[in-house]
């Protein structure tokens, strides 16, 4: 009952409706719970040396325990390993892990992914480091088959909890940290954290910026706006800029193809569930898209994931 009271409209004696929206904490807790639900856990002894694990999706994880350090000192004994794998735009959305890569000029554009991964090793709650590469063997059939343009990216999360992808090291060296052989990508990660096997989305059409208006009371702290490009199942764009004066989210880099068929997705929290709206649009130059409260629905995490993955 308490949750319902704080996520709906309240009508006072003077017949003035006051909107009560979720807090940033409410929305962040929803995304954190989604990430926790997708986290796999493994244990091993650092003194066993090279060890291997297979994830739920069939990714082979190879790590050398003798390379692990804590404050520069070699680690011995039991180690806990956390692993997250994201291959579809539904899971990317609920965990707030879109595929937006940094261009050479600093702008951001959509990446098409062969898989997003988080790996972290800890001992007694202390985060460990490694002096050796971590190797992943990633089935290519999870993302539509081999794409030889894929390279390795490293993820950085800012103070607002948003993720940006940057090319890992020298993309000309070691085939960008990734190579394909048979039906697998082999990725060599230099450190723990977020990594991604990706390439930039390629579309020759002229590009534009777009703006998206959301219902009153929502902003970039208690809601998000994403773009799902039709025909792309393993990439998810987001609008990472919000103007409080106008109340509009924006893609201000000018990287959206004019004529692109896509779906604009608005998500927030309500009653410990997901509140969302989806609009099918064909992008026009300097497009302004408006989402209203009347378009929204409330669903569970599993339902929203299925809805997003069911988009064309």
3-class SS at 56?
coil
Res 14 pLDDT > 70: no
* Structure confidence by residue, pLDDT tens digits, 170-212: 544 545 689 999 999 999 999 999 999 999 999 999 999 999 9
Domain 38-200, CATH: 2.60.220
Give the integer Cα–Cα distance in Å for 49 and 205: 51
* Structure confidence by residue, pLDDT tens digits, 45-71: 999 999 999 999 999 999 999 999 999
Q: CA 270 from chain center: how many Å?
A: 21
Residues 130, 61 contacting (CB under 8 angstroms): no
Give the integer Cα–Cα distance in Å for 209 and 212: 10
Give the integer Cα–Cα distance in Å for 85 and 193: 12
3-class SS at 81?
strand
- Radius of gyration (C-alpha) of the chain in whole angstroms: 21
Residues 119, 81 contacting (CB under 8 angstroms): yes
Q: Higher model confidence: residue 112 or residue 162?
A: 112
Residues 6+ positions from 107 with CB-CB distance below 8 Å: 253, 254, 255
Written as six digits, the tokens of 309 are 């993955």
pLDDT of residue 27: 98
* Structure confidence by residue, pLDDT tens digits, 69-102: 999 999 999 999 999 999 999 999 999 999 999 9
pLDDT of residue 8: 47
Domain parsing of the chain, residue ranges: 2-32+203-309, 38-200
Q: 169: pLDDT confidence band, cut at 50, 70 and 90?
A: low
Mention the CATH class of domain 2-32+203-309: mainly beta
């Amino acid at each position: 009952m308490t949750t319902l009271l704080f996520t709906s409209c309240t009508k006072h004696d003077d017949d003035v409706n006051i909107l009560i929206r979720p807090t940033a904490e409410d929305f962040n807790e929803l995304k954190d719970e989604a990430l926790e639900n997708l986290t796999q856990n493994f244990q091993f002894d650092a003194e066993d040396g090279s060890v291997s694990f297979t994830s739920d999706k069939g990714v082979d994880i190879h790590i050398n325990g003798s390379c692990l350090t804590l404050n520069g000192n070699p680690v011995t004994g039991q180690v806990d390993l956390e692993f997250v794998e994201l291959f579809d735009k539904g899971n990317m959305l609920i965990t707030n892990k879109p595929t937006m890569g940094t261009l050479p000029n600093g702008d951001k554009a959509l990446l098409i992914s062969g898989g997003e991964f988080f790996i972290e090793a800890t001992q007694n709650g202390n985060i460990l480091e490694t002096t050796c590469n971590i190797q992943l063997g990633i089935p290519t059939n999870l993302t539509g088959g081999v794409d030889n343009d894929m390279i390795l990216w490293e993820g950085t999360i800012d103070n607002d909890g948003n993720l940006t992808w940057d090319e890992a090291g020298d993309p000309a060296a070691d085939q960008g940290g990734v190579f394909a052989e048979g039906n697998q990508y082999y990725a060599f990660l230099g450190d723990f954290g977020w990594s991604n096997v990706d390439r930039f989305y390629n579309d020759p059409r002229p590009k534009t910026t777009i703006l998206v208006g959301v219902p009153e009371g929502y902003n970039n702290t208690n809601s998000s706006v994403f773009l799902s490009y039709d025909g792309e199942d393993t990439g998810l764009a987001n609008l990472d800029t919000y103007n409080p004066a106008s109340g509009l989210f924006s893609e201000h880099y000018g990287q959206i193809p004019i004529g692109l068929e896509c779906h604009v997705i608005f998500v927030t929290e309500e009653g410990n569930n997901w509140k969302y709206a989806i609009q099918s649009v064909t992008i026009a130059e300097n497009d302004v898209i408006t989402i209203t409260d009347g378009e929204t629905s409330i669903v569970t995490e599993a339902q929203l994931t299925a809805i997003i993955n069911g988009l064309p």
